[in-house]
C-alpha cells in the first residue's frame, strides 16, 4: 500500500535483550511492530509483553495532556492545563524552593522506564538542567549496582562474556537468573550449545521456567551462593583442575583465596546452602572437567545483603579454572561495561558540589526533600518500603512532578503531571546489557495529544526559566553525536549516520570474545579475588531465616507478563498475570494452615500485602515467592510486595535487597477479608 514505511527502532525497557524492532507505518499510523529479523540477537522475536507495545501506546488510560491536581494527594483527581500553565507553575515552584531551601531540596528521581541514552536513565536525561539548578544527584542503585560495583572491584569492569558465545559452551550454569522470563533471547544460544552436548544447570531457590528446562536444578538457600561457589572450587582444587598458569599471570590474592576455598569442603557447603553434598560434589567435578564453562549470573543473586560479594566469588570461578581464556567460557553479568559511549555527567555546570540521594532510600530521604521530580519511575510500585513512601508523598509541603505515560499510583500523588512520549514517538540511542550492539531508535509517528519527549521537556523548561547555558538546548541529534564522539576503539566507525541508516551496529569486539584472556582492566592488570574471610557474606535470610517471628525468606522475582510495573495496566497482560500470588512450600503451608486459592497476609515489621496462596514445591522449605510488578491500586489491600521490602543496602554499591526480606504468611479469615 502506498504510504507504507518501515522504521527501525529499539525496545527501551530495562531488559538485557535490548531488542531491535521494525515499526510499519501506514499513513502516519503505526500498524505493526516486529522484532528485527536481521538483528543477530533479536532474530525477529520480541516478547509476550512488547508484542503488545503498539496497543499500549494507544491505551485508553494514556496520559496525553499536562494536568494539575484538584483533589487531595493520592486521589488521582486532576484537571487538564496547558503546557504554558504547567511550565509557569513549575518554574515558580522550583525557583522558590531553590531560594528558600537550596537546590539540593530538589530530587530528580529517574528510574529505568527507558534505558535510552537520550530520553532515559543510561544518559541521565535532564542532568544538565538539574546541574544548572543545583539539584541533588540521583544514585540509581535500584537494579544492578551491588553486582556492578562488586564485579568492578574484582575485574575493573562489570562487563564479561558476550552471551552469544554461550553457544560454544560445554557446561552452562544459569545462576540466579531466569532468562525464559527476564530475557529469553539468550535461550537460543543455550539451545545451540545443548545441541552440541552442553549440560545446563539452574541454581535458584525457585524452580522457575528456566529451571524446568535445565538438565539439573539446585534449589539453593537464598543468599548462600558465594558458599556454593567456594564449595565447587574446593572440588576443582581437589581434582587439581585449577589453571596455575592463568592464576600466576592474571590474578591477585590467589594464595589467600585458595585458603578460603579450602575452608569450604563440600559437607560444610551442603549445610550452608541446603544443597545435598553429592550434588555439590558432582557439579564441582563436572566444573573441574569441563572447559569451556559459561556462567550466566544476572541480578537475582545481588538483590541481597551479601550480593556484591556473591557476584565477586562466582566471578572468581572463571579465573581459577582459566575459563576466561576459552571462547565460550567465563561469566556474563551485564555487557554494559563494554559500552564506551562518551557519557559526560556535566559536573562543570554545577556551581558547587551537591549531595547524592539514593534511589531505594526514597522513604527515609524524602523528609529533607521539597520537590520530588519523578520520571521513568514508579516508586509506589517498585521501590523499597513503599508504605513509608506513600506517607511521605502525602506531605502537603512536598511539590511532586511526575512525567508519565500512564496514571500509576505515583501519578496519583503528583501536583503536576506531564505527558511523556513513548518509544515510537521519540528519538533515542540504545545499547543492550545482554549483548554487544548499539541501536538507533528513529521516531516513527507523531506524539499523540501534547506528549513531549524527556529531552524536549527539559529544553522547554530551561527556556521558560530563562537559563542561558547553551548546552541545555542541544538537539537530540546533537546529543547523540556527542555520545558517539568517543575515542574508544570499540566505537571506531560507529557513526550516527550509519546507525540511522542501519538501525543497529555491533560494537568493535571480536567474535568470539574472550575479554580477559590476556588480563583485566584493573590497575595491576589482574583480577582481584575477594579478600580473606570476605568471600562469603551471608545475607539476612541466610543468617536469620527459619527463626523468630518472621522465619520465611521472601523472594520477589520478575513477573512473566510485566516489566517491573510497566504493562501492569494492560488488561490482557494483567489477566494473564492473575491475582497476586504467594508460592508456599507444602510443609510451610501445612504448618500454617494455608491452602491454595485462599487469601493470605504476607507481613513483617515493615508492613504487609495480600496475596492468594499457591501451595507448591517450586519453592524450597523456608522460601516464599511473590512476583514484582502489580500496581498497588489494582490489588486487594492496595499494596504489593515492596510493602515488606526493607530499605537496607547490599554490601557493595548500596544495592537494593529485594530478595532478602523475612516475612510470615498468615491465612486471612474465612469471611474473605481483603478480597
Ligand atoms: N518478564 C520480565 N522480564 C524482566 C523484568 C520483569 O519484571 N519481567 N525485569 C527486568 C529487569 S528490571 C531486570 S533487572 C532483569 C532481572 O532479571 P533477573 O536477573 O533474572 O532477576 P530476578 O528476576 O530478580 O531474579 C532472577 C532469579 O534469581 C533468583 N534468586 C533470588 N535470590 C537468589 C539467591 O539468593 N540465589 C540464587 N541463586 N538465586 C536467587 C530468583 O528466584 C529468580 O528466579 O529482568 C528484566 N526482565
Ligand atoms: N519487590 C521488588 N521490587 C523491585 C525489583 C524486584 O526484583 N523486586 N526490581 C527492581 C528493579 S530491577 C528495577 S529496574 C526497578 C524499576 O523501578 P522503576 O525504575 O520505578 O520502573 P517501573 O516500575 O517499570 O516504572 C517505570 C515508569 O516509567 C514510565 N516510563 C517509561 N518510559 C518512559 C519515558 O520515556 N519517559 C517517562 N517520563 N516515563 C517513562 C513507565 O510508564 C513506568 O510507569 O524496580 C525494582 N523493584
Ligand atoms: S522487554 Fe526485552 S525481550 Fe521484550 S522486546 Fe524489550 S528487550 Fe526484547
Ligand atoms: Mo532492573
Mean pLDDT of all residues in 488-511: 98
Q: Residues 480-494: pLDDT tens digits?
A: 999 999 999 999 999
Q: Concatenate the DSSP letters of all residues of 382-413 into one string.
A: HSSSHHHHHHHHT-TT-EEEEEESS--TTGGG
Q: Residues 471-482: pLDDT tens digits?
A: 999 999 999 999
Q: How confident is the model at residue 673 (pLDDT cuts 50, 70, 90)?
A: very low
Q: Residues 387-433: pLDDT tens digits?
A: 999 999 999 999 999 999 999 999 999 999 999 999 999 999 999 99
Residue matched to cell numbers 581437589 = 238
Indicate which ligand has the atom closest to the C-alpha of 302.
Answer: 1
CA distance 134 to 532: 42
User: Of all helices (H) and strands (E), which one includes residue 255?
Assistant: helix 254-262
Q: Residues 437-453: pLDDT tens digits?
A: 999 999 999 999 999 99
- Backbone conformation region of residue 35, classed left if phi is above 0, alpha if psi is from -120 to 50, else beta: beta
The burial class, CB within 10 Å (0-12 / 13-18 / 19+), for 99 is exposed
Ligand 1 atom, smallest distance to 210 CA: 44
Ligand 1 mean position to 590 CA, how many Å?
28
Ligand 4 mean position to 250 CA, how many Å?
31
Ligand 4 mean position to 141 CA, how many Å?
9
The cell for 282 is 558432582
Ligand 4 mean position to 100 CA, how many Å?
36
Ligand 1 binding pocket includes 201 (Cβ within 6 Å): no
Lowest mean pLDDT segment, chosen from 90-99, 233-242, 389-398, 662-671: 662-671
Residue 674's pLDDT is: 45
Residue 262's pLDDT is: 98
Q: Residues 75-129: pLDDT tens digits?
A: 999 999 999 999 999 999 999 999 999 999 999 999 999 999 999 999 999 999 9
Ligand 1 binding pocket includes 42 (Cβ within 6 Å): no
Share of the chain above pLDDT 70, in %: 99
Q: Concatenate the DSSP letters of all residues of 8-31 into one string.
A: EEE--SS-TT--EEEEEEETTEEE
The cell for 165 is 558465545
| pLDDT for residue 231 is more than 90 | yes
| pLDDT for residue 675 is more than 50 | no
Ligand 1 binding pocket includes 558 (Cβ within 6 Å): yes
Indicate which ligand has the atom closest to the C-alpha of 48.
Answer: 3
Residue 578's pLDDT is: 93
Ligand 4 mean position to 286 CA, how many Å?
32
- As for ligand 2, residues whose beta carbon falls within 6 Å of it are 14, 111-114, 119-120, 142-143, 299, 303, 375-379, 381-382, 403-406, 408, 420, 454, 556, 564-566, 628, 641-642, 645, 658
Ligand 1 atom, smallest distance to 555 CA: 31
Residue 3's pLDDT is: 75
Rg (CA), the chain: 25
Question: All domains of the chain, ordered by start, with CATH?
Answer: 4-57 (2.20.25.90), 67-142+352-486 (3.40.50.740), 150-333 (3.40.228.10), 540-667 (2.40.40.20)
Output the residue whose Cα is nearest ligand 3's atom 6.
11
Residue 260's pLDDT is: 98
Catalogue the E-assigned strands of 140-195: 171-175
Q: How confident is the model at residue 74 (pLDDT cuts 50, 70, 90)?
A: very high
Mean pLDDT of all residues in 626-634: 98
Amino acid at each position: 500500500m502506498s504510504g507504507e514505511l518501515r522504521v527501525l527502532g529499539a525496545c527501551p525497557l530495562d531488559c538485557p535483550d535490548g531488542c531491535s524492532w521494525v515499526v510499519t507505518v501506514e499513513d502516519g499510523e503505526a500498524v505493526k511492530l516486529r522484532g528485527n529479523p536481521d538483528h543477530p540477537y533479536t532474530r525477529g522475536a520480541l516478547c509476550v509483553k512488547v508484542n503488545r507495545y503498539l496497543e499500549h501506546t494507544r491505551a485508553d488510560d494514556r496520559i496525553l495532556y499536562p494536568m494539575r491536581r484538584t483533589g487531595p494527594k493520592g486521589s488521582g483527581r486532576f484537571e487538564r492545563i496547558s503546557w504554558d500553565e504547567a511550565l509557569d507553575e513549575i518554574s515558580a515552584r522550583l525557583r522558590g524552593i531553590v531560594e528558600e531551601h537550596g537546590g539540593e531540596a530538589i530530587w530528580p528521581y529517574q528510574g529505568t522506564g527507558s534505558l535510552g541514552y537520550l530520553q532515559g536513565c543510561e544518559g541521565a536525561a535532564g542532568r544538565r538542567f538539574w546541574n544548572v539548578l543545583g539539584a541533588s544527584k540521583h544514585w540509581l542503585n535500584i537494579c544492578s549496582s551491588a553486582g556492578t560495583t562488586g564485579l568492578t572491584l574484582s575485574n575493573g569492569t562489570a562487563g564479561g562474556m558476550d552471551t552469544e558465545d554461550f553457544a560454544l559452551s560445554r557446561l552452562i550454569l544459569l545462576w540466579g537468573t531466569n532468562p525464559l522470563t527476564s530475557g529469553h533471547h539468550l535461550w537460543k544460544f543455550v539451545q545451540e550449545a545443548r545441541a552440541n552436548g552442553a549440560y545446563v544447570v539452574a541454581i535458584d531457590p525457585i524452580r522457575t521456567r528456566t529451571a524446568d528446562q535445565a538438565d539439573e536444578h539446585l534449589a539453593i538457600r537464598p543468599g548462600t551462593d558465594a558458599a556454593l561457589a567456594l564449595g565447587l572450587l574446593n572440588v576443582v582444587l581437589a581434582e587439581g583442575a585449577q589453571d596455575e598458569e592463568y592464576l600466576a599471570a592474571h590474578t591477585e590474592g590467589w594464595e589467600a583465596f585458595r585458603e578460603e576455598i579450602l575452608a569450604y569442603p563440600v559437607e560444610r557447603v551442603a549445610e550452608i546452602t541446603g544443597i545435598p553434598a553429592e550434588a555439590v560434589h558432582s557439579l564441582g567435578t563436572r566444573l573441574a572437567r569441563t572447559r569451556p564453562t559459561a556462567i550466566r549470573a544476572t541480578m537475582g543473586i545481588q538483590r541481597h545483603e551479601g550480593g556484591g560479594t556473591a557476584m565477586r566469588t562466582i566471578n572468581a570461578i572463571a579465573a581459577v579454572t582459566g575459563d576466561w581464556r576459552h571462547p565460550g567460557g567465563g561469566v556474563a553479568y551485564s555487557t554494559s561495561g563494554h559500552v564506551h559511549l562518551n557519557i559526560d555527567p556535566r559536573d562543570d555546570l554545577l556551581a558547587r558540589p551537591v549531595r547524592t540521594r539514593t534511589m531505594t532510600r526514597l522513604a527515609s530521604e524524602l523528609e529533607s526533600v521539597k520537590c520530588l521530580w519523578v520520571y521513568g519511575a514508579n516508586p509506589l510500585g517498585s521501590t523499597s518500603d513503599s508504605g513509608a513512601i506513600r506517607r511521605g508523598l502525602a506531605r502537603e509541603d512536598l511539590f511532586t512532578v511526575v512525567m508519565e505515560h500512564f496514571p500509576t499510583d505515583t501519578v496519583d500523588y503528583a501536583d503536576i503531571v506531564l505527558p511523556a512520549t513513548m518509544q515510537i514517538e521519540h528519538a533515542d540511542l540504545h545499547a543492550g546489557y545482554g549483548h554487544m550492539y548499539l541501536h538507533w531508535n528513529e521516531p516513527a509517528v507523531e506524539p499523540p495529544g501534547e506528549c513531549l519527549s524527556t529531552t524536549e521537556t527539559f529544553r522547554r523548561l530551561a527556556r521558560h526559566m530563562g537559563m542561558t547555558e547553551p548546552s541545555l538546548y542541544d538537539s537530540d541529534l546533537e546529543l547523540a553525536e556527542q555520545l558517539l564522539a568517543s575515542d574508544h576503539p570499540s566505537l571506531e566507525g560507529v557513526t550516527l549516520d550509519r546507525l540511522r541508516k542501519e538501525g543497529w551496529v555491533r560494537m568493535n569486539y571480536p567474535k568470539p570474545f574472550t575479554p580477559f584472556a590476556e588480563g583485566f582492566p584493573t590497575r595491576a592488570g589482574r583480577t582481584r579475588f575477594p579478600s580473606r574471610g570476605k568471600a562469603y557474606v551471608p545475607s539476612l535470610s541466610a543468617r536469620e531465616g527459619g527463626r523468630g517471628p518472621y522465619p520465611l525468606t521472601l523472594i520477589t522475582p520478575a513477573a512473566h507478563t510485566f516489566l517491573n510495573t510497566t504493562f501492569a495496566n494492560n488488561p490482557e497482560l494483567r489477566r494473564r498475570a492473575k491475582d497476586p500470588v504467594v508460592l508456599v512450600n507444602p510443609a510451610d503451608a501445612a504448618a500454617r494452615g494455608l491452602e491454595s486459592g485462599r487469601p493470605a497476609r504476607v507481613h513483617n515489621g515493615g508492613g504487609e500485602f495480600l496475596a492468594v496462596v499457591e501451595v507448591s514445591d517450586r519453592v524450597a522449605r523456608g522460601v516464599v515467592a511473590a512476583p514484582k510488578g502489580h500496581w498497588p491500586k489494582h490489588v486487594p489491600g492496595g499494596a504489593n510486595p515492596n510493602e515488606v521490602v526493607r530499605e537496607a543496602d547490599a554490601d557493595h554499591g548500596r544495592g537494593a535487597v529485594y530478595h532478602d526480606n523475612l516475612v510470615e504468611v498468615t491465612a486471612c479469615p474465612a469471611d474473605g477479608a481483603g478480597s
